[in-house]
Structure 1
Amino acid sequence: MGIVWVAIIIGSLVLSFKKPFHFLFSNKYFKLLFLGVCLIFVIIEGVIVFQGIGFNTVNNCDYLIVFGARVRGETPSLTLKYCLDVAYDYLSKNPDTQAILSGGQGEGENISEAEAMKRYLVKKGISVDRLMLENQSRDTVENLKYSFRMIDISEKDLQWIITICF
């Protein structure tokens, strides 16, 4: 997405000058190229959006990994609350699933993200026995790495899964 923003900024700067703007857009091949790039962009973005909409949840998983997000003091951020509400809904519908709450303690956080998530879910009624805390990770790769170690997935499988996730 960063490349798109850089292209927009450079394009805006180039097009802000009257002479290049008229030169480029007076050329019919440039117009076709510009429209083609815009069309490809819209198609790719549409595929990304509609894949997210058509996502089906798998029920009765053994484990659900919930990634941490910002905690303010001891309170989960709004983003983290949304994630935890989705996790709560899933855990409520799938009573045999255990949750791995993954997130370390960052700057400005009085407790780890994992601890904040545990407190939030327990307060909503999820049994503490179903919650496993991973509180060492600092980024998404470490979230996956440490969480998978908790459920005893081999390093070979771990690398494969991380490649698929990213």
Structure 2
Amino acid sequence: MAGDDAFEDFYLGSRHRVVTFLYAMGGDRAEAQDAAQEAYLRAWQRWSTVSGYDDPEAWVRTVGYRLCVNRWRKARNRMVAYRRHGPAEPARPPNEDTVALVEALRRLPEPERLAIALHHLLDLPVAEVAAQTGVPVNTVKSRLVRGRRTLASLLDRDLPGEYSHA
């Protein structure tokens, strides 16, 4: 318990200086507070060692500063990659068929929609769909048949191998 009290005294006596230093170095108060918090956490985890240093505050300052530098380096690398590759092309709007299919899928009962999505969109075998949904294989097969028929009628299309009765 004495170690906890010593750390608390250390923390209360040095936190303002450490955050001020990190803020002055990086110019971002929130970033300075985050780095200081992480540095103090690391000091607390190693308090039996850090407390024996000539200047534990210098250790915390150094750790906090290195954390900030690593964050700056990562941000810089993201910017370099962004400049190199440019912005991502905007996503094209979905075509009419996609919009119609999504609307039709929304109208299916959830168990049929789930079976259709797992089997046809993720290419899972029927047995795997059954395992993931916790139902027998024949139930999955029935849901797939009903779901495909409903989709065909909603999309006003014939299923392969079936003929229109018109």
Answer whether TM exceeds 0.5 for this pair: no
Higher relative contact order (CA 8 A, sep 6+): 1
Structure (1 or 2) with the greater strand fraction: 1
More helix by share: 2
